[in-house]
């Protein structure tokens, strides 16, 4: 599964449109001042550029922002403040707790991801455009999160993502670090990628090993009203080996938000179906 994005500068005119444009230029030169004509010609592509950009926004699918033109304008404004480099770890001057990450600043817990990084687009929603994740791994990932809650009902719960307003999310019942209602992570049905909150130490390793990137608005300050500074996109797992790695990253995310250590097992069989009936997904 991949999403279509086109260049915002790509403007294709049909035959009649091209003739109309040429006639409009000739009439403008005859009627208007040359300087005004040049200004109008310079501004002429702007509606097409905005239209193409708006189409790209809609093609990313539903997410945390309404799929409307007003929603698009909000995202266009927030782009002015987006991170220019999503691969460099965030810096922290204030005290944080836990002091060190889940894996104690070790780099050996996470292997290098094979191949180049996938192409990522958008802010809200932010989605993976290529290198699609495996559908079977996506189902196993959902099942693994649901089974975690069955095993630790007093510590975790699943529900609709607070950040995305849709999609399956894992929450800590008693978070020690503030996120959106204690959200640890959520999965995207459209591209099978994830967003999660990670301790800065663990996020640094995830970024350096090529498994994800920072959210464009994860820069702290007043941007915290949208996402925490620790908010990371993790790329969709393409096979079982990558799913096992993603499960380890989720363990680290859960530690940062809940303060608890636990194991996320990549599983096919749902404990919910076995014990209480199938969990009804929203997709």
The most confident of 26-30, 31-35, 257-261, by mean pLDDT: 257-261
**Separation CA 56–CA 120 (nearest Å):** 12
Q: Which pLDDT does position 170 carry in this prediction?
A: 98
The number of residues in the chain equals 283
Residue 13 has pLDDT above 70, yes or no: no
Q: Which pLDDT does position 70 carry in this prediction?
A: 95
**Which band of pLDDT confidence, cut at 50, 70 and 90, is reported for residue 8?**
low
Residue 277 has pLDDT above 90, yes or no: no
CB 103 within 8 A of CB 201: yes
Average pLDDT over residues 143-151: 96
Q: Which pLDDT does position 252 carry in this prediction?
A: 96
**Which band of pLDDT confidence, cut at 50, 70 and 90, is reported for residue 104?**
confident
Average pLDDT over residues 227-255: 96
Q: Which pLDDT does position 25 carry in this prediction?
A: 63
Average pLDDT over residues 59-70: 91
Lowest average pLDDT, out of 171-180, 200-209, 268-277, goes to: 268-277
Give the chain's radius of gyration (CA, Å): 23
Average pLDDT over residues 14-31: 62
Q: Which pLDDT does position 219 carry in this prediction?
A: 92
Average pLDDT over residues 10-30: 59
Beta partners for 120? Answer: 128
**Separation CA 33–CA 192 (nearest Å):** 55
Q: Which pLDDT does position 153 carry in this prediction?
A: 96
CB 195 within 8 A of CB 249: no
More confident residue, 51 or 145: 145
**Which band of pLDDT confidence, cut at 50, 70 and 90, is reported for residue 279?**
very low
Residue 203 has pLDDT above 70, yes or no: yes
3-state helix, strand, coil in the chain (%, to 5): 40, 10, 50
Q: Where are the domains of the chain?
A: 10-59, 102-271
Residue 10 has pLDDT above 70, yes or no: no
Percent of the chain with pLDDT over 70: 81
| Nearest to 171, CA basis, from 188, 153, 189 | 153
**Which band of pLDDT confidence, cut at 50, 70 and 90, is reported for residue 94?**
confident
Residue 272 has pLDDT above 90, yes or no: no
| Nearest to 186, CA basis, from 61, 64, 85, 71 | 64
CB 261 within 8 A of CB 106: no
| Nearest to 240, CA basis, from 152, 137, 99 | 137
Percent of the chain with pLDDT over 90: 67
Residue 261 has pLDDT above 50, yes or no: yes
| Alpha helices, DSSP H, located in 122-166 | 135-151
**Which band of pLDDT confidence, cut at 50, 70 and 90, is reported for residue 191?**
very high
Mean pLDDT, the chain, rounded, equals 87
| Alpha helices, DSSP H, located in the chain | 15-31, 34-43, 46-59, 69-78, 135-151, 200-208, 240-258, 271-275
More confident residue, 89 or 2: 89
Residue 22 has pLDDT above 60, yes or no: no
| Nearest to 143, CA basis, from 250, 241, 278 | 278
- Rounded to two decimals, the pTM is 0.83
Sign for the pseudo-dihedral over CA of 17, 54, 3, 115: positive
């Amino acid at each position: 599964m991949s999403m279509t994005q086109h260049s915002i500068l790509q403007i294709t005119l049909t035959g009649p449109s091209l003739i109309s444009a040429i006639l409009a230029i000739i009439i403008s030169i005859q009627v208007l001042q040359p300087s005004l004509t040049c200004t109008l010609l310079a501004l002429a592509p702007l509606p097409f550029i905005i239209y193409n950009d708006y189409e790209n926004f809609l093609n990313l699918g539903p997410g945390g922002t309404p799929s409307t033109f007003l929603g698009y304008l909000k995202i266009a404004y927030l782009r002015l403040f987006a991170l220019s480099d999503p691969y460099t770890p965030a810096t922290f001057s204030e005290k944080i707790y836990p002091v060190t990450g889940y894996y104690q600043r070790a780099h050996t817990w996470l292997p290098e991801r094979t191949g180049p990084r996938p192409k990522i687009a958008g802010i809200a929603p932010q989605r993976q455009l290529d290198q699609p994740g495996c559908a079977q791994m996506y189902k196993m990932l959902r099942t693994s999160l649901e089974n975690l809650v069955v095993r630790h009902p007093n510590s975790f719960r699943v529900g609709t993502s607070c950040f995305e307003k849709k999609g399956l999310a894992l929450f800590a019942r008693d978070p020690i670090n503030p996120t959106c209602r204690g959200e640890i992570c959520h999965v995207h049905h459209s591209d099978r990628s994830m967003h999660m909150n990670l301790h800065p130490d663990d996020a640094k390793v995830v970024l350096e090993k090529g498994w994800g990137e920072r959210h464009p608005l994860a820069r702290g300050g007043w941007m915290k009203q949208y996402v925490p500074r620790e908010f990371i996109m993790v790329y969709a797992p393409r096979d079982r080996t990558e799913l096992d790695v993603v499960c380890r990253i989720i363990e680290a995310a859960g530690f940062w938000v809940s303060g608890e250590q636990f194991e996320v097992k990549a599983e096919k069989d749902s404990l919910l179906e076995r014990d209480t009936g199938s969990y009804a997904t929203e997709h």
